Amino acid sequence: MNIGILTAGGDSPGLNAAIRGIGKAAIRSHDMSVVGFRDGFRGLMQNRHIRLDSDDLSGILTAGGTILGTSRDKPSRMNVGGREMDMTGIMIETYEAHHLDALVCLGGGGTQKNALHLAQAGMRIVTLPKTIDNDVAGTDITIGFDTAMDIATEAIDRLHSTAHSHHRIIVVEVMGHNAGWLALGAGLAGGADVILIPEVPYHMDAIAESILARQAAGSRFSIVAVSEGAITADHAADRDRLKEIRKTGDDEGERATAKQGLQDLKIETADATHSLAAQLEERTRLEARVTILGHVQRGGTPSPLDRLLATRLGTAAADFVAAGRHGIMVANSGDEAVAVPLEEVAGQRRTVPLDHPWVATARSLGVSLGD
């Protein structure tokens, strides 16, 4: 049997551990040949590949990034020579040329959709969920999330001392455009006083009042952990209204206007964290400083939990391929690796439920969520 592997989307700690898990299990337990495609779906389209043997897979367990490289290219809409083209057919030719019994795609939400597209085109596809945002549907946790949360938590820990020394508000922006798992988890673990996530649109007055109440009680500093996708309640209302018009508007002009409005809103909220800090400084008369963690959360050695998760899901992927299973994502459910149909994953997003225990814990501690 022959198995292919590619990594797509943003890089994430634990990708190499997953590649190692898939490859070693495929070779040692199932006597498969393993080929890796470079730089995601573009490498599959261009047939840029390497043969992976046990030596290639040795020593990569603790390495960050991905030895295969990655990209955000989409099979059905790929930029080729300055034109956007559907390269699905070319990818199928590459797949067949290597006589693959399955292609394993490691990625987040976008990769799951692209993988389903290839599965529907006739490829035997298995996927693994990876993203530091932890927002892939159908799995308890994604590869990379634990490491990113560790990094964000350590940053918040370090910022406490400067916040306390200078009596400042420190606003820490962590990744998470559409889901607040990272800010919520790191904020709780790091003892943040305010946690703002996309699922709970915030009110500036509520945050300022919370900080002023801390000040009145003798705490002359505050830590605000904010997801990059967190927005005000007013902006959220505008977004929801425009989305509804775009979806159900009576005429094409009205829908086009709504689409442009959404693009304008995206631009307006792009620097929301700095705006938040400025407004808090104005309302509380406390000095505010912003720290944006950015891509540092993606880098470095994966945590032991991410290595273990990636290895478990990777070996399970090889087992599923050997058993003839495909059209699935290998998900984590409790202590087990389970097969979830791609149709149930693609196009879905796992956001923070408002009744989640982490949310309840934050409220019990008196942490402001801005609502």
CATH number assigned to the domain comprising residue 186: 3.40.50.460
User: Is position 178 within any domain?
Assistant: yes
In this structure, the answer to whether residues 162 and 75 fall within a common structural domain is no
- Looking at the fold, whether 239 and 153 belong to one and the same domain comes out as yes
- List all residues 6 or more positions away from 303 whose beta carbon is below 8 Å from its beta carbon: 13, 146, 147, 150
CB 172 within 8 A of CB 220: no
User: Which band of pLDDT confidence, cut at 50, 70 and 90, is reported for residue 251?
Assistant: confident
Helices (H), 167-301: 181-190, 204-216, 233-248, 252-268, 272-284
Please check whether residue 358 lies inside any domain of the structure: yes
Residue 138 maps to a domain: yes
Q: How many CA atoms lie within 13 A of 365 on its CB side?
A: 19
Share of the chain above pLDDT 90, in %: 85
pLDDT given for residue 191 in this prediction: 96
pLDDT in tens, 289-340: 999 998 898 888 999 999 999 999 999 999 999 999 999 999 999 989 999 9
What is the CATH classification number for the domain harbouring 33? Answer: 3.40.50.450
pTM of the model: 0.94
What are 194-244's pLDDT values in tens digits? Answer: 999 999 999 999 999 999 999 999 988 999 999 999 999 999 999 999 888
Q: Given this model, what pLDDT does residue 247 score?
A: 85
Q: Are residues 111 and 177 in the same domain?
A: no
Q: Please give the pLDDT value at position 370.
A: 96
Res 166 pLDDT > 80: no
Which pLDDT band holds residue 270 (cuts at 50, 70, 90)? confident
pLDDT, tens digit (0-9, with 9 covering 90-100), for 14-57: 999 999 999 999 999 999 999 999 999 999 999 999 999 999 99
Catalytic residue among 73, 133, 135, 193: 133
Give every strand in the sheet of 102-107, ordered side by side. 49-52, 33-37, 2-7, 102-107, 125-129, 328-333, 336-341
Out of 42-46, 186-190, 246-250, pick the least confident.
246-250
Count of beta carbons in the 10 Å neighbourhood of residue 102: 26
DSSP lists the bridge partners of residue 213 as none
Q: Which residues on neighbouring strands pair with residue 6, listed in sequence order?
A: 105
Assess whether 252 and 228 both reside in one domain.
yes
pLDDT at 326: 97
Q: Directed axis angle between helix 145-166 and helix 181-190, to 10°?
A: 50
Same structural domain, 63 and 201? no
Residue 250 domain boundaries: 147-298+354-364
* Structural domains of the chain, count: 2
246: exposed, middle or buried (Cβ count in 10 Å: 0-12, 13-18, 19+): middle
Are both 223 and 321 inside the same structural domain? no
Please report the pLDDT score of residue 299 as a whole number: 85
pLDDT tens by residue, 58-110: 999 999 999 999 999 999 999 998 899 999 999 999 999 999 999 999 999 99
Instruction: Say if residue 210 is in the same domain as residue 334.
Output: no
The mean predicted confidence, pLDDT, of the chain is 95
Based on the domain organization, do 140 and 266 belong to the same domain? no
Residue that is written with structure tokens 């008196």 in the block: 366
For residues 197 and 137, membership in a common domain is answered with: no
Give tens-digit pLDDT for 55-68.
999 999 999 999 99
**Per-residue confidence band for 363, with pLDDT thresholds at 50, 70 and 90:** very high
E-state strands within the chain: 2-7, 33-37, 49-52, 78-80, 83-85, 102-107, 125-129, 169-174, 194-196, 222-227, 288-292, 328-333, 336-341
Is residue 315 in a domain?
yes
Distant-in-sequence, close-in-space partners of 38: CB < 8 Å, separation ≥ 6: 48, 49, 50, 68, 69
Query: For residue 165, is pLDDT > 90?
Result: no
**271 and 322 both lie in a single domain:** no
Is residue 157 among the annotated active site residues? no
Is 140 contained in some domain?
A: yes
Residue 262 lies in a domain: yes
Q: Are residues 65 and 132 located together in one domain of the fold? A: yes
In a domain, 20, yes or no: yes
> Do 164 and 135 lie in a common domain?
no
Q: What is the pLDDT of residue 32?
A: 97
Confidence of residue 272 (pLDDT cuts 50, 70, 90): very high
Tell me, yes or no, whether 168 lies in a domain. yes
State in Å, rounded, how far the first CA of the chain is from the last one: 55
The pLDDT score that the predictor gives to residue 255 is 87
